[in-house]
Amino acid sequence: MFNLQGKVALVTGSSRGIGRAIALRLAENGVNLVVNYIRHRKDAEDTAAAIEEKGARCLVVKANVANDDDVKAMFEQIREEYGRLDVLVSNAASGVLKPVMELSGRHWNWAMDINARSLLTLAQQALPLMPVGGRIMAVSSLGSVRAVENYTAVGASKAALESLVRHLAVELGPKGILVNTISAGAVDTEALKKFPNREQILGGALERTPVGRLTTPEDVADVALFLCSDLARMIHGQTVVVDGGYSIRA
């Protein structure tokens, strides 16, 4: 339906959670994958096995997206294995959850480097491999535009990420590359387990979401698939919110 047969996608942080769901959705639609992870090799291998079961090829690469040398080495492997990259999804994220007064420069740089600056390096490396029609997507959160308790460093990094997407869109649009952000509401993944108030976040999100359920990794993956397709050919430089209406509530 989406005519993505034979294309190649890199999804950073696709060993689990939202990244894994995006990788699987693309594989179901004929896309060959690069699964990236940093620590959990077993999860990455499980994801790769699930991708191959769907008939797609999969390259698994351990790389810290905040480390330029790691990213360059990952692209060397992509060049050797596939010789092209049609879709880049910058999904990997990390961050320390602390009140503002307890945040150090190291915490700040950690979140900025992994969540925002990584897209710059990834896009710079991806471009020479990307044909006209390529897609770059970043996965962000509502914390980029809202003040969420203890989320300062990650929220600021997501705001920087969304701004970077708009700047990339202006420069890469003329080259035939579409660049967008997908911003998700609360999704119950491993990441949420780091929040001391996880139950409160999920309960609150459920109560305030007009469609009456939480956003799932598959909801996000479906939007990523849509943005990869020709149906989304005039969506460019946007932040597409996937949250069942949560963020429109007063």
Ligand X SMILES: NC(=O)c1ccc[n+]([C@@H]2O[C@H](COP(=O)([O-])OP(=O)(O)OC[C@H]3O[C@@H](n4cnc5c(N)ncnc54)[C@H](OP(=O)(O)O)[C@@H]3O)[C@@H](O)[C@H]2O)c1
> Can you give the binding site for ligand X, defined by CB under 6 A?
12-19, 36-40, 43, 64-66, 91-94, 114, 139, 141, 184, 186-187, 189-192
Side chain identity, residue 219: D
**Is 158 annotated in the active site?**
yes
Dihedral sign, Cα of residue 79, residue 82, residue 85, residue 90? negative
Shortest distance, position 56 Cβ to ligand X, whole Å: 18
Which segments within the chain are labelled E, that is strand?
8-11, 32-37, 58-62, 87-90, 135-141, 178-184, 239-242
**Is 82 annotated in the active site?**
no
Catalytic residue among 42, 158, 193, 194: 158
CA dihedral 203, 216, 192, 152 (to 10 degrees): -90
**Distance between CA atoms of residues 76 and 65, nearest Å:** 14
Shortest distance, position 132 Cβ to ligand X, whole Å: 27
Catalytic residue among 151, 175, 194, 246: 151
Going from the C-alpha of 58 to that of each of 7, 54, 148, the distances in angstroms are 12, 11, 36
32 or 157: CB nearest ligand X: 157
Shortest distance, position 130 Cβ to ligand X, whole Å: 20
103 or 201: CB nearest ligand X: 201
Q: Which residues are catalytic?
A: 151, 158
